[in-house]
């Protein structure tokens, strides 16, 4: 009887250990290059930093806006965006405050090779 209980206990422990593997490793997809055309009142903005913040999975990315264009390496996914000060304070102060931080109601989908138009109005 004791031998049967010992065997049952060992078997149960072995099944439990076999079913409890280590953590599952999930790798992010490779970043893709995306072009953002950034304008304010129809005019390209300049000398600001364009920021992408992931809403779900992905990684944060940022890059300088030059002549209205920012090119970033980004993992595909859903993001919110905002601008931060770049080279000049005057360029940053000309941007409405609502675009100086991420917002859950301002989303965009990023995919490989996309060109995305952004209006900071």
For tokens 């002549």, the residue is 67
Q: 32-119 is classed in which CATH architecture?
A: Sandwich (2.60)
pLDDT at 17: 61
**What is the pLDDT at residue 63?**
97
Q: What pLDDT was estimated at residue 58?
A: 79
Interatomic CA distance for residues 79 and 29, integer angstroms: 15
Over the chain, what HEC string results? CHHHHHHHHHHHHHHHHHHCCCCCCCCCCCCEEEEEEEEECCEECCCEEEEEEECCCCCCEEEEEECCEEEEEECCEEEEEEEEECCCHHHHHCCCHHHCCCCCCCCEEECCCCEEEEECC
Per-residue pLDDT at 15: 57
- Whole-angstrom Cα distance, residue 53 to residue 84? 13
Looking at residue 69, its pLDDT comes to 99
pLDDT in tens, the chain (121 residues): 676 565 566 766 665 565 566 677 777 789 999 999 999 999 999 999 999 999 988 789 999 999 999 999 999 999 999 999 998 899 999 999 999 998 999 999 999 999 999 999 9
What is residue 5's predicted lDDT score, i.e. its pLDDT? 64
C-alpha–C-alpha distance, residues 75 and 30, integer Å: 6
């Amino acid at each position: 009887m004791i031998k049967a209980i010992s065997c049952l206990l060992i078997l149960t422990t072995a099944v439990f250990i076999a079913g409890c593997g280590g953590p599952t490793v999930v790798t992010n997809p490779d970043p893709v290059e995306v072009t953002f055309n950034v304008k304010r009142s129809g005019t390209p903005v300049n000398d600001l930093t364009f920021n992408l913040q992931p809403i779900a999975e992905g990684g944060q990315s940022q890059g300088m806006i030059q002549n209205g264009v920012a090119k970033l390496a980004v993992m595909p996914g859903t993001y919110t965006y905002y601008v931060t000060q770049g080279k000049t304070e005057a360029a940053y102060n000309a941007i409405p405050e609502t675009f100086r931080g991420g917002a859950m109601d301002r989303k965009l989908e990023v995919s490989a090779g996309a060109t995305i138009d952004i209006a900071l109005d």
